[in-house]
């Protein structure tokens, strides 16, 4: 049967385009209806604690969210080769149905591992991730290294709207 819809793994991972996200404007009701999220690191040092402090939500560390934690998951990884590999692996866990059934994968959040542009091979890996799930990018923020968290960086407005941290 031909339904005119694309077939492939993106059907399993991409949520309906109803709220804010990369390339999608914020509707007036989106900020008020912001969901709570659980931040889950795909590797050590991904930045989960910092993101939870800046954007709000539950810091799950490298564990699946437990009882009482929001079931909406934002996977977190650094933009180095190892981080992108673990992010892709974690997305695959959801695609195969191996994540706890009560969890919902909403997006991947990639935190810059260094200032500046990504080398081409890493940028290509990011593009591959973006083809199957929403990806939010967080730039290098020197103040975060000093523990000065403050407001979300301007470049992360879409992520701030998604998490309700937009002011």
* φ and ψ at residue 95, rounded to 5 degrees: -60, -40
Q: Which pLDDT band holds residue 72 (cuts at 50, 70, 90)? A: very high
Q: Which pLDDT band holds residue 109 (cuts at 50, 70, 90)?
A: very high
Does residue 42 surpass a pLDDT of 90? yes
Which whole number is the average pLDDT over 123-148?
96
Q: Which residues contact 161 (CB under 8 A, 6 or more apart)?
A: 20, 26, 30, 31, 34
Residue 161: name the closest of 16, 15, 50, 23 by CA.
23
Write the CB contacts of 83 (distance below 8 Å, at least 6 apart in sequence): 42, 43, 46, 77, 110, 113
Q: pLDDT confidence of 167, banded at 50, 70, 90? A: low
pTM for the complete prediction?
0.80
For the cut 80, the answer to whether the pLDDT of residue 116 exceeds it is yes
Q: What is the mean pLDDT of residues 126-154?
A: 95
> Is the pLDDT confidence value at 128 over 90?
yes
The encoded tokens of residue 99 equal 């994540």
The predicted structure's pLDDT at residue 150: 87
**What pLDDT sits at residue 166?**
75
All residues at 6 or more sequence positions from 15 whose CB lies less than 8 Å from its CB, including other chains: 106, 134
Report the distance separating Cα 163 and Cα 37, nearest Å.
7
pLDDT, position 69: 95
- Contact between 164 and 31 (Cβ < 8 Å): yes
Q: How many CB atoms lie within 10 A of CB 39?
A: 27
Dihedrals phi, psi of 123, to nearest 5 degrees? -60, -35
Residue 9 has pLDDT above 70, yes or no: no
pLDDT tens sequence across 18-37: 444 454 444 433 444 557 99
């Amino acid at each position: 049967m031909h339904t005119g819809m694309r077939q492939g793994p993106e059907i399993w991972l991409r949520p309906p385009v109803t709220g804010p996200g990369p390339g999608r404007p914020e509707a007036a009701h989106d900020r008020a209806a912001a969901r709570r999220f659980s931040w889950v690191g795909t590797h050590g040092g991904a930045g989960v604690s910092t993101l939870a402090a800046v954007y709000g939500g539950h810091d799950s560390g490298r564990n699946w969210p437990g009882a009482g934690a929001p079931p909406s998951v934002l996977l977190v990884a650094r933009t180095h080769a190892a981080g992108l590999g673990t992010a892709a692996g974690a997305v695959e866990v959801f695609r195969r149905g191996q994540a706890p059934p009560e969890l919902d994968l909403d997006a991947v959040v990639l935190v810059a591992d260094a200032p500046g542009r990504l080398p081409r091979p890493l940028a290509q890996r990011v593009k591959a991730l973006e083809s199957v799930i929403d990806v939010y990018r967080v730039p290098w923020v020197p103040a975060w290294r000093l523990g000065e968290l403050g407001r979300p960086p301007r470049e992360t407005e879409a992520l701030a709207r998604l998490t309700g941290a937009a002011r």
